[in-house]
Amino acid sequence: MSPTPPPSGPPSGAPSDTLKAVAAGRGKLVGTAVQAGFLSDPPYNAVAGREFNYLTAEYQMKWNVIEPSRGVRDFGPGDAIAGFAASQGMRVKGHTFLWHGATPSWVNALPADELRVAVEQHIRAVADHYRGRIHAWDVVNEAIADGGGSALRDTVFRQKLGDRYIADAFRAARAADPSALLFYNDYGGEGSGVKADRIYALLQELLANGVPIDGVGLQMHIAAGSRPSDGAIAANMRRLAALGLIVHISEMDVRINDTAGSEQMRLEAQRTTYQDVVRVCMLEPRCEAVTFWGFTDAHTWLSGDRPLLFDARYQPKPAYDGVLEALRGR
């Protein structure tokens, strides 16, 4: 009988250096989003543990999962993720206290005075539960509008609590867990343009007002061939860093369905995109982490595409090699 390879060994064809070994050697975090239920799947568990030193719950630390009905909190799935991270010596990104896309319906229905209390209690209870286990919290997610009139997205929080809900959330988070870094996280503002400028202006104003905010997450949901230039991403990271902020690439994936050419050409374009963007982070001292929004094409929120580093059978794609090269500084 041929020996079974240990689950922690590299898959056939994979380089023996792992993403996390190379990233750690350069002082960076390399992360992935995960779902608790998949961690019992041996290849999923093995690759996550082998390759990454930073973990984000894809959705299981969001308000609608933790407290679907008022006053009853379930930390089970989030705890499973935090427990896996601890067992592997990984850090955890807490994601996310306030996001209009993951707010329980009972919260949306509250009158303003009750909503203010509910937000405070939610942040306090969740931050308190995870205190000491979270490297950084995404305190507010996607609060900036994509275009049009007001810079701030017209969420239920803004409608009922006013623009100050953002500053209040950061202050509540700092009070509840002084040991966690506090992040603002958004998409579509990775390079240049109106949204990037709005994110910059919001953070500049919050900092000027003494709001406790340590970093910014640039989500980086992009497509090969349709993405901000390396130069625009680098310039944006530099100006955010100049505010004193840490920068994370927080949710990277690279779609290829609309990329021209053969499948091999698409996968090569994806590799180049990953390598170029991760290299930008490696060259910016304040860019401390790159997190991918999953790692296997078997489990991606972009079903129908194949935007991640491993294929659906957990084999490394060209994109994996591109990221590894970028982490090595190439």
Task: Choose among 308, 124, 135, 286: nearest CA to 218.
Answer: 286
Q: Which of residues 159-198 bind ligand XIL (CB under 6 A)?
A: 187
If binding means CB under 6 A, how many residues of this protein chain bind ligand XIL? 7
Rank residues 35 and 45 by Cβ distance to ligand XIL and give the closer one. Answer: 35
Q: Which of residues 217-236 bind ligand XIL (CB under 6 A)?
A: 219
Question: Nearest approach, Cβ of 6 to ligand XIL (angstroms)?
Answer: 31
Q: How many CB atoms lie within 10 A of CB 16?
A: 7
SS3 for 283-311 is HCCCEEEEEECCCECCCCCCECECCCCEC
Query: Which residues, 6+ apart, have CB-to-CB distance to 285 below 8 Å?
Result: 241
Rank residues 183 and 324 by Cβ distance to ligand XIL and give the closer one. Answer: 183
Query: Which residues, 6+ apart, have CB-to-CB distance to 259 below 8 Å?
Result: 223, 224, 225, 265, 266, 269, 270
Question: Nearest approach, Cβ of 303 to ligand XIL (angstroms)?
Answer: 10
114 is catalytic: no
Rank residues 57 and 324 by Cβ distance to ligand XIL and give the closer one. Answer: 57
**Does position 51 bind ligand XIL by CB under 6 A?**
no
State the Cα–Cα distance between residues 124 and 294, nearest whole angstrom. 28
Question: Nearest approach, Cβ of 295 to ligand XIL (angstroms)?
Answer: 13
Task: Choose among 292, 251, 298: nearest CA to 41.
Answer: 298
Rank residues 177 and 251 by Cβ distance to ligand XIL and give the closer one. Answer: 251
Rank residues 59 and 320 by Cβ distance to ligand XIL and give the closer one. Answer: 59
120 is catalytic: no
Q: Which of residues 76-135 bind ligand XIL (CB under 6 A)?
A: none
Question: Nearest approach, Cβ of 183 to ligand XIL (angstroms)?
Answer: 11
Cβ 52 vs Cβ 23: under 8 Å: no
Cβ 321 vs Cβ 274: under 8 Å: no
Question: Nearest approach, Cβ of 22 to ligand XIL (angstroms)?
Answer: 26
Query: Among 44, 54, 59, 274, which residue sits at the site for ligand XIL (rule: CB under 6 A)?
Result: 59
Query: Among 18, 60, 103, 141, which residue sits at the site for ligand XIL (rule: CB under 6 A)?
Result: 141
Whether cis (ω within 30° of 0) applies to the bond prior to 291 is no
Query: Among 20, 30, 58, 295, which residue sits at the site for ligand XIL (rule: CB under 6 A)?
Result: 58
| Contact map string, positions 262 to 301, toward ligand XIL, x by CB under 6 A | ---------------------------------------x
State the Cα–Cα distance between residues 327 and 330, nearest whole angstrom. 7
Give, in order, the Cα–Cα distances in Å from 247 to each of 101, 215, 222, 261. Answer: 23, 6, 17, 34
Three-class SS state of 104: coil
Question: Nearest approach, Cβ of 101 to ligand XIL (angstroms)?
Answer: 6
Minimal CB distance to ligand XIL: which residue?
Answer: 301
SS3 for 189-207 is CCCCCHHHHHHHHHHHHHH
Among residues 142, 190, 268, 288, which one is catalytic?
142
Active site residues: 142, 251
Q: Where along the sequence are the contacts to ligand XIL (CB under 6 A)?
A: 58-59, 141, 187, 219, 251, 301
